[in-house]
Amino acid sequence: MPERDRKAFVLRVAPSGIDRVPEAIETNEIIIGWSDASELIDESLSWEDFRGFMHKYYYAEDKTFRRSGGASGNIWKFIREMGEGDLVVVPHGPEFYVARVKGKAYHDPNRVKDDTAFRRPVEWLNAKKPIPRKYVNLALRLRMNIQNTCAAADDLIGEIEEVLKTCEKGKATTFEQDLQQGMVERVLKEIREGKISDRGFEELVAHVLTRLGARDVRIVPRNLDKGADVIGTFSIADTFKFVLAVQAKHYQPVPPVGKWVVDQLINGMQAESADLGWIVTSGSYSEETIGYASEICERDGIRIELIDGEQLAALIVAHGMIDRPKE
């Protein structure tokens, strides 16, 4: 049998919205939720049967498999796609941990009540020490920002390995990373403290979408604003299109953006028939907001990504967007 290619994943260890990262570090395991559906551990299940059990336990009232299928994809990756030797990135606030999978997933019936029954043994790398997110490139930062519980990151294995090697050498960053981070910090300072109004911030966000390849980008007039400030359309192979709705918040880091903005954006997405939502702020997000956006994604299948000030600045630097249109 040919050797299996190593994979990488981003995993949020917060079943039922409770931070279980400290427990995972202590027990040398990674943890995921949906503990009631113990049948999922059966490797002989087909995808249809796997999804069927998820539907039975968590989405029985739904007439379609849309939500149960989305949730099933997360735990399917955890149970079926992860393998020994794979790397798992676990975000935790402004930092993250990296683990190497050491064995098969299992279900502990004694931990169903606290929704931590599905587990995998791992080796925590970097001596179990967290790594600041700012030490990695934009692609990995954004992947860690995804609201799904478990996401593939095979394309970022090289970046993950590089940051681990840099940490092993006792140096947190390379010259190139220091240079990029310095530019990001300067751009972020200008966004937060420079001469930019709330309207100017919306224009900046619209400019970012355009540079990222969006078409028909428009700022929603205030009198027609139903929860989305900027709308853009992205095309895949000039065939498949999806509409992105953005809520732009020109805030300082304190206080952080609250969960009510998520509900506001959902209203805007519905009004604009958007497929995906972004909340973009020059500030930061509360843990409650981050957890709520993830809950909405898993419960209702509504995809909302949270872009904070540092990530926005990193986007601007990475894509050479310094030439923002003047207000």
pLDDT in tens, 250-282: 998 888 999 999 999 999 999 999 999 999 999
Q: Where are the domains of the chain?
A: 8-168, 183-318
Question: pLDDT value at position 1?
Answer: 40
Domain boundaries 8-168, corresponding CATH code: 3.10.590
User: Whose CA is closest to 97, among 71, 123, 63?
Assistant: 123
User: Whose CA is closest to 204, among 242, 235, 250, 146?
Assistant: 250
pLDDT in tens, 34-64: 999 999 999 999 999 999 999 999 999 988 8
Q: What is the mean pLDDT of residues 184-190?
A: 90
Q: Please answer whether residues 67 and 299 qualify as being in contact, where contact means their C-beta atoms are separated by less than 8 angstroms.
A: yes
Q: Let me know if 25 is exposed, middle or buried by CB neighbors in 10 A (0-12, 13-18, 19+).
A: buried
Q: Helices 309-318 & 198-211, crossing angle to 10 degrees?
A: 50
Domain boundaries 183-318, corresponding CATH code: 3.40.1350.10
User: Whose CA is closest to 13, among 40, 27, 31?
Assistant: 31
Its pTM stands at: 0.78
